[in-house]
Amino acid sequence: MIEGDGNKVGLEERLERLEAIIDRMESEDIALDEALQLFEEGVGHVREAEQVLAETELRVEELLAGGEVLEREIEEE
């Protein structure tokens, strides 16, 4: 995900935002519309985080294989 200023959001920032979303959704004074909006945002962050982790795992596997690192596309599920 790229934010409005063109900077890519890192995994740590996503996790922090997910924690904030969970805290807000666990509060008793949240409207249904806001909860749904936060849920949607959270799902987006989870999907992006999964993609980052998959790419990282692939890169680690390539490095551990002892061969040279090859750039390749990761298929989205």
Quick one: angle between helices 32-64 and 11-26, nearest 10?
150
Residue 64 has pLDDT above 90, yes or no: no
pLDDT of 65 reads 82
Q: What is the mean pLDDT of residues 12-25?
A: 96
Residue 6 has pLDDT above 60, yes or no: no
The pTM is what?
Answer: 0.69
* 40/46 Cα distance (integer angstroms): 10
Q: What is the mean pLDDT of residues 36-59?
A: 94
C-beta neighbour count of 35 within 10 angstroms: 14
Residue 49 has pLDDT above 70, yes or no: yes
- Residue 40's nearest CA partner among 50, 25, 51 is 25
Q: What is the mean pLDDT of residues 70-74?
A: 66
Q: What is the mean pLDDT of residues 45-55?
A: 94
Please report, for the chain, the start and end positions of each structural domain, with discontinuous segments joined by +. 11-64
**Rounded to the nearest 5°, which phi and psi values hold at 52?**
-60, -45
Bridge partners, 2 (sequence order): 8
